[in-house]
Amino acid sequence: MNIEIRYQSRTGHTKAVAEAMGKAIGVTPKDIKTPVTKPTDILFIGGGIYAFQTDPELVAFMKNLDPEKVKKVVVYATSGMLKGTLKKLQRLTKRKKIPLHPETLLLIIPQKTAPTKSQLEQAANFAKSVK
């Protein structure tokens, strides 16, 4: 089974979460600047919310995602308080007609803090449960 993890991160929070998930399932996470080029059974894709918006680069990544290469998408997000990125990623995935895993992960991480050990463990456990 081929599993990929992509993330978009300005503060490092989503990157840390992606790394925790990757370590748990033996996958090296990559920034969204790295496109998905080979057939992928499961793609974990995540990002944050900035000024109440999903990052435009993350939106562009999703719009350019090839549904012929990805069998299923699992979304995750980090936020100071909102879950808009989760909903946006779910909508973009559905528009691409790529099956969406029913469970998502949202970690609320206040500004100027880092993900806690407990949150990183939660991310790792989430990834293992999906795999």
Does 30 map to a domain?
yes
Does 131 map to a domain?
no
Q: What is the model's pLDDT at position 61?
A: 95
Q: What is the model's pLDDT at position 84?
A: 67
Q: Give the CATH number, domain containing residue 50.
A: 3.40.50.360
45-72 burial, b at 16+ Cβ within 10 Å, e below that, comes to: bbbbbbeeebbeebbebbeebeeebbeb
Domain boundaries, position 61: 3-121
Checking if the pLDDT of 52 tops 80, the result is no
Please give the radius of gyration of the chain, using alpha carbons only, rounded to the nearest integer: 13
Checking if the pLDDT of 14 tops 70, the result is yes
Q: What is the pLDDT of residues 30-47, one digit of tens each?
A: 999 999 999 999 999 999
Checking if the pLDDT of 51 tops 70, the result is no
How many domains does the chain contain in total?
1
Q: What is the pLDDT of residues 56-76, one digit of tens each?
A: 899 999 999 999 999 999 999
Does 10 map to a domain?
yes
Of 43, 54, 72, nearest in space to 9 by CA: 54
